[in-house]
Chain A
Amino acid sequence: MALFDLLPPLVGGLVVTVSVAVPAAAIGVLLAFAAGLARATSSLMLRSLVRGYVAVFRGTSALVQLFWVYFALPLVGVELDAMTAAITVLALNTGAYGAEVVRGAVEAVPRTQGEAARALGFSPRLTLWRIVLPQALPATLPPLGNLLIELLKNTALVSLVTLSDLTFQARVLRDDTLRTGEIFSLVLVMYFAIALCITAGVRVLERRLAAARGSHGRAGF
């Protein structure tokens, strides 16, 4: 088994995959919270804007969005390099799915909590930060973890807009060596390993959050 000579180019691809996935994940999660919370505001315009964004990005696939941004947008004068286009599209895509997760979690916080906060003289902002978000956050974690795995899987699409990520390197290596079975098996295992890391990371975060809430509870009451 000479798998080791296949590793260096694949690891190079892995670096590109990670450097697309990490910023896209960070921006995507921020967008998810921004959009999810915006749907709970009283501004009708903001709500419809977010609803439109979510509908468009959930109604088409990431590949269609990526091709549109990379190939079609330059024709109306917006030219993004492949890396920027990839991160933008994957972040917007994750944000749209995440917005629904955040909205669901926020709606699951009993309305009386907000009313009680108002009765105690909390400002809307303080209510959001101190009352609503801390209670909504734990419920968002498992589905957001799943979305991060979907994001990881979607990074493979960037190979179709010239970025030399893990999938792209696999194809190049296949054309060079024709060791198809080995290469693609190895690459699938590499993706699986990252997905397992994401799952483990989210689980640690969940436990931390549960522990933090527990100690706050004791300190507070």
Chain B
Amino acid sequence: MDEPVFDWSYTWEIAPRLLDGLVVTVQATVLATVIATLLGLVLAIGRRSRQRIVAWFVAVVVEFIRSTPLLVQLYFLFFVLPSVGVVLSPLQTGAIGLGVHYAAYMSEVYRAGIESVPRQQWEGAVALGFSRRRTWLSIVLPQAIPPVIPALGNYVVALFKETPLLSAITVVELMQVAQIEGSRSFRYLEAFTLVGVMFLALSTISAAGVRILELRLARS
């Protein structure tokens, strides 16, 4: 065999381009995380709506989003949004799809946090004549959210790991760059291995970060 199985010099050659892809991956992760954490909270509050029909509708939507493939949801947004006149870049479309998908997961986390707030807190707020809005904002959420931050963090790590799916809707993120490099040189081994290592390293580090956060919160 003349050629090495794993060509290190080629690996170094493509590494900078892969890092460019990683930047897009991180952008998508940040944008999607913002959408997921905000929309997730809205969905969780929606599930506690006094209007039964609203609560039920939100529950069905959350279950539907959680039980269907992200890839199909991305295709749906990617092809349907332009046909109803909403023109977004692939990155924006991808971040919305990813964000909405994980909002459904995060809403369940928030829900657990909200349910752990004792009933008496609600009753106390009513007794003090707090409006419903003020009860949510200054009584319930400040107690519900901090304990669930680590669980939310775990979903951010999961969301990050799913960004390669955006390559299917033409976002030139890390995975897409690896595919382009691979098809150019017919050497997929180096590019895909590098992608795997990058994801493994970053997700392991961020998972450890979440663990540390968890321990800190548990101590305080």
Which A residues contact B (CB, under 8 angstroms)?
A: 55-56, 59-61, 63-65, 67-68, 71-72, 75-76, 149, 152-157, 159-160, 167, 170-171, 174, 180-181, 184-185, 187-188, 191-192, 195-196
Contacts and interface: CB of A to CB of B under 8 A. Distances in A.
Interface of B: 5, 64, 66-73, 75-76, 79-80, 83, 161-162, 164-165, 168, 175, 178-179, 182, 187-189, 192-193, 195-196, 199-200, 203-204, 207
Contact of A181 (B5, B80, B168): B80
Given A149-B67, A191-B67, A75 B187 contact: yes
A60 B189 contact: no
Given A156-B71, A191-B72, A71 B203 contact: no
Given A180-B79, A184-B75, A72 B69 contact: no
A64 B71 contact: no
Contacts of A181: 80, 83
B70 A64 contact: no
A174 B5 contact: no
Nearest to B81: A180
B173 to A, nearest CB: 11
A167 B207 CA distance: 31
Contacts, number: 108
Contacts of A56: 200
A60 B204 CA distance: 9
Contact of B200 (A60, A67, A71): A60
Contacts of B168: 160
Given A60-B196, A61-B199, A63-B165, A180 B80 contact: yes
Contacts of B162: 61, 63
Contact of A63 (B175, B188, B193): B175
B200 A63 contact: no
A185 B200 CA distance: 34
B161 A167 contact: no
B189 A72 contact: yes
B135 to A, nearest CB: 32
A88 to B, nearest CB: 16
A188 B161 contact: no
A62 B186 CA distance: 22
Ordered nearest first, which 8 A-B pairs have the shortest CB separation?
A156-B69, A195-B67, A71-B188, A61-B161, A184-B76, A59-B200, A180-B79, A75-B189
